[in-house]
Structure 1
């Protein structure tokens, strides 16, 4: 299967999850707005979700995948199964202990870590604690699911791991629809959503567990034992967890700071949901597929192939994210109004969330590039260097957030996030080049400026088109009118950008065809490479 097709397989599942996620957020915005229950739920959900991405997705995609792939090559599926059972026994024990400790300590954690600003509102504080207690076991389920997903990706079976997250949004949409049908109040909705998160963790774990069994690996439980392979995994996973979860570290810190202002946490969460569509679809697809592919190329000593994989991945990410960034910058408010402005979500909330989203647009290329640069370190089992850069980025984020929040409020926090993201991306890229791990690619260097120019021209055209279509995008316009107008703008923007990108030479159909043909030949040589 070609790199493009693998990207598409993972991206399609992620896109489906994000589309359902939008539906969920639209229903949530209408039911809860940016009020105290919305703040409590988003703050409570941020905690297990941060741990999930920090220690599960970040650590296992970075550390577990190369070791698991190496075990397959050295000892076959039996060796990989034994390694998986060793890791599962340790991981399950750690997660069980962590869950018990966190559940008991939750009031202190909310007070001092998640949302110290809620202490002055006893009801909001109490709701946050209770919702976090209900949702925290989701972390254990998703951490084990991340391990299973890493196994599936190493076995070139991408679909189940990509489709499982959809069920979080499907279940929460069902909860919101039932709440609307039965006329539940905001507090009841918040608690129902919390239980929905917990149930979705179990469902997602079941999906990837079954997929792993179907792939020929049955994992039995072993008592935890620190074998040589497990120790190596832990050595790699700790810095990888910090590095892979840098965005989540920043978000958790920013949630803490934002809790001082009512509605700030919810506003950041609503903007983040929109921003996560291009980031998730492109960034997660690239990171998920690139790491095992790059590790395989390096193990075989094919440095030319490794360099090509990195360059093509950056080219692919910029080709898709630059227009998305430009569109978010120019048309953030119409997008937010169409998606959220109804029920308890006011025009003031639209303006606030729109400003945050526009700032996030400026950081989109940085966060996607980070996901493309990190495999260059992780595939070489270097997790220490990215961890250092991640720590620097966290310091930049915290310093700027504390400085800008009193002046710009939520927008200041968003600005701190994107500046930290660009600092991290630049440090990663410069180090890869300095170490000679990034091959010079003339086609890439000539295409990038053309892609920037194409996105800039598209943005200018969008600005004038929004002005011309003003009445259809106004707050008083019916929802279907706004939806048609936004969809029209998106289609026009896509047509103009792709025409400019291909017309200027920023993108090449011949290059894409060559990549597909090269991948097809590889698939023929390795029949098991195809995903089910």
Structure 2
């Protein structure tokens, strides 16, 4: 299977999840707007969700996958099964103890770390604590699920791990439908969503567990012991967790600061949902697929293939994220209006969320490039260097957010996140080049500037189109007209972009077809280092 097809497999599952996520956020915006229940839910959910990304996705995609792949190659499936059971025993025990400790400390943690700005509203603070207590066990399900997803990715079975997150949004959409028809008040909707998150965690864990058994690896429980392999995993996982979850760390910090202003937390989360669509489809797909493929090439001593994988992945991210960033920056307001402006979500909310979304669009390429650059370190079992850069990024994010939030509100936090993302991406790339782990690639150097120009041209074109169609996007215009107008602008922008990028030489259909058909380990003709994805 070619690299592009693997990206597509993971990306398709992520896209389906994001589509249902949009449905969920649209329904939540209509039901709760940016009011106190929405603030409490988003702040509470951010807590376990950040832990999940730090200790599950970040740590295990970075540390567990290469070690599990080594066990398969060295000792076969039996050795990999033993290793996974050793890890499972330790992981489950640690997660259980962490969950118990956090449940006991939840009022203190929420009050002083997660939502300090809610201190002046005891009712909102109490609801946030209650929701966080309900949802925190979600961490156990998702961390164990991330471990099993890492196993599936190492076994080249990407679909189950990609499709499992869809069920979080399916279940929450179902909860909102029941709440709508049941006439629930705001607080009841928030509590129902909290229990829905926990139920979704159980379902997602069940899906990947069944898939792992179907792949021929049945996991039993072993008494937790710090074996040499487990110690090696933990040594790699701690810095990898911080590095892999840098975007989530910055988001958590931003959420804590945003609790100081009414409506800022849901405004950030609703904008985050929109830009997570391209970030999830491209960034997550690249990060999930590239790490095991790069680790395998380096273990085989195939540096040419490793360099090709890295350059093609960056080219792939630029090809898709630069036009997405241009679109988010130029037409953020009509996007937010069509998606959210109804029910409790008011026109003034649209202005704030669209401003946040436009700023997130500026940072989008950086967030995706981080996903493409970090496997270059993780595959070489260097998790310390990206962790240092992540720490620098967090420090920048906190400093800029504290500086800008008093005057700008939620857009100030988005600006801090974008600045921190670009600094992190720049540091990662610079050190890879200096170490000789990123070779010069003629194809990437030729096509990247042309992709940038095509994206800028498309951004200008859709800006003019929206300006011309302003009556169709007015707040008083019926939803179906706004939606049709936005769909026309997006479709027209896609046609314009592809015509521009191919016309300028930023991409070539013939070489793209050869890459899609290329099998693993098979060079595509004599231009292996210059083929685009």
Same fold flag (TM > 0.5): yes
Q: Which residue of 2 is the match for residue 218 of structure 1? A: 218
Q: Which residue of 1 is the match for residue 502 of structure 2? A: 502
Residue aligned with 1:381, SS: coil
Q: Distance in 1 between matches of 2:103 and 2:31?
A: 28
Residue 305 in 1 paired to residue 301 in 2? no
Query: Residues 151-193 of structure 1, C-alpha deviation per residue, up to 9 Å, x if partnerless?
Result: 0000000000000000000000000000000111100000000
What displacement does 1:511 show?
A: 2.1
Residue 397 in 1 paired to residue 394 in 2? no
Residue aligned with 1:431, SS: helix
Does the aligned pair in 1 maintain the 2:3–2:520 contact within 8 Å?
A: no
Q: Which residue of 1 is the match for residue 433 of structure 2? A: 433
Q: Which residue of 1 is the match for residue 348 of structure 2? A: 348
TM-score under structure 1 length normalisation: 0.98
Residue 152 in 1 paired to residue 152 in 2? yes
Q: Distance in 2 between matches of 1:522 and 1:182?
A: 57
What displacement does 1:344 show?
A: 0.3
Q: Which residue of 2 is the match for residue 379 of structure 1? A: 379
Within a 5 Å distance, the mapping from 1:186-335 to structure 2 comes to: 186-335=186-335
What displacement does 1:515 show?
A: 1.5
Q: Distance in 2 between matches of 1:9 and 1:517?
A: 14
Q: Distance in 2 between matches of 1:410 and 1:296?
A: 42
Q: Distance in 2 between matches of 1:522 and 1:161?
A: 26
Query: Residues 283-318 of structure 1, C-alpha deviation per residue, up to 9 Å, x if partnerless?
Result: 000000000000000000000000000000000000
> Greater CA deviation, 513-522 or 223-232?
513-522
Q: Distance in 1 between matches of 2:514 and 2:303?
A: 19
Residue aligned with 1:68, SS: helix
Does the aligned pair in 1 maintain the 2:29–2:345 contact within 8 Å?
A: yes
What displacement does 1:520 show?
A: 6.7
Q: Which residue of 2 is the match for residue 68 of structure 1? A: 68
Q: Distance in 2 between matches of 1:35 and 1:469?
A: 31
Q: Distance in 2 between matches of 1:464 and 1:174?
A: 39
Query: Residues 363-397 of structure 1, C-alpha deviation per residue, up to 9 Å, x if partnerless?
Result: 00000000000000000000000000000000100
Q: Distance in 2 between matches of 1:137 and 1:30?
A: 28
Q: Distance in 2 between matches of 1:121 and 1:408?
A: 22
Q: Which residue of 2 is the match for residue 35 of structure 1? A: 35
Residue 127 in 1 paired to residue 147 in 2? no
Q: Distance in 2 between matches of 1:176 and 1:220?
A: 37
For residues 125 and 521 of structure 1, do their structure 2 counterparts lie closer, same or farther at Cα, with a shift above 3 Å needed?
closer
Q: Which residue of 2 is the match for residue 97 of structure 1? A: 97
Residue 414 in 1 paired to residue 414 in 2? yes
Q: Distance in 2 between matches of 1:60 and 1:511?
A: 34
What displacement does 1:487 show?
A: 0.5
Residue aligned with 1:345, SS: coil
What displacement does 1:522 show?
A: 5.2
Q: Which residue of 2 is the match for residue 107 of structure 1? A: 107
What displacement does 1:516 show?
A: 2.4
What displacement does 1:14 show?
A: 0.1
Residue aligned with 2:224, SS: coil
Q: Which residue of 2 is the match for residue 2 of structure 1? A: 2
Within a 5 Å distance, the mapping from 1:477-492 to structure 2 comes to: 477-492=477-492
Q: Distance in 2 between matches of 1:142 and 1:131?
A: 17
Q: Distance in 2 between matches of 1:342 and 1:202?
A: 32
Q: Which residue of 2 is the match for residue 361 of structure 1? A: 361
Q: Distance in 1 between matches of 2:192 and 2:138?
A: 15
Q: Distance in 2 between matches of 1:219 and 1:521?
A: 31
Residue 139 in 1 paired to residue 139 in 2? yes
Query: Residues 332-353 of structure 1, C-alpha deviation per residue, up to 9 Å, x if partnerless?
Result: 0000000000000000100000
Q: Which residue of 2 is the match for residue 12 of structure 1? A: 12
Q: Which residue of 2 is the match for residue 526 of structure 1? A: none
Query: Residues 72-123 of structure 1, C-alpha deviation per residue, up to 9 Å, x if partnerless?
Result: 0000000000000000000000000000000000000001110011011000
Residue 461 in 1 paired to residue 461 in 2? yes
Q: Which residue of 2 is the match for residue 529 of structure 1? A: none
Q: Distance in 2 between matches of 1:407 and 1:289?
A: 41
What displacement does 1:440 show?
A: 0.6
TM-score under structure 2 length normalisation: 0.97
> Size of the alignment, in residue pairs?
523
What displacement does 1:518 show?
A: 2.4
Does the aligned pair in 1 maintain the 2:271–2:354 contact within 8 Å?
A: yes
Residue aligned with 2:519, SS: helix
What displacement does 1:519 show?
A: 1.7
Q: Distance in 2 between matches of 1:519 and 1:332?
A: 39
Residue aligned with 1:223, SS: coil
Query: Residues 186-222 of structure 1, C-alpha deviation per residue, up to 9 Å, x if partnerless?
Result: 0000000000000000000000000000000000001
Residue aligned with 1:325, SS: helix
Q: Which runs of 5+ in 2 are unaligned?
A: 524-533
For residues 521 and 371 of structure 1, do their structure 2 counterparts lie closer, same or farther at Cα, with a shift above 3 Å needed?
closer
Residue aligned with 1:226, SS: coil
Q: Distance in 1 between matches of 2:210 and 2:186?
A: 36
Residue 452 in 1 paired to residue 455 in 2? no
What displacement does 1:514 show?
A: 2.3
> Greater CA deviation, 180-189 or 503-512?
503-512
Residue aligned with 1:262, SS: coil
Residue 472 in 1 paired to residue 472 in 2? yes
The runs of 4+ residues in structure 1 deviating greater than 4 Å are: 520-523
Q: Which residue of 1 is the match for residue 168 of structure 2? A: 168
Within a 5 Å distance, the mapping from 1:519-530 to structure 2 comes to: 519=519
Q: Which residue of 2 is the match for residue 530 of structure 1? A: none
Residue aligned with 1:447, SS: helix
Q: Which runs of 5+ in 1 are unaligned?
A: 524-532
Q: Distance in 2 between matches of 1:419 and 1:99?
A: 33
Q: Distance in 2 between matches of 1:426 and 1:117?
A: 33
Query: Residues 224-259 of structure 1, C-alpha deviation per residue, up to 9 Å, x if partnerless?
Result: 000000000000000000000101111111111110
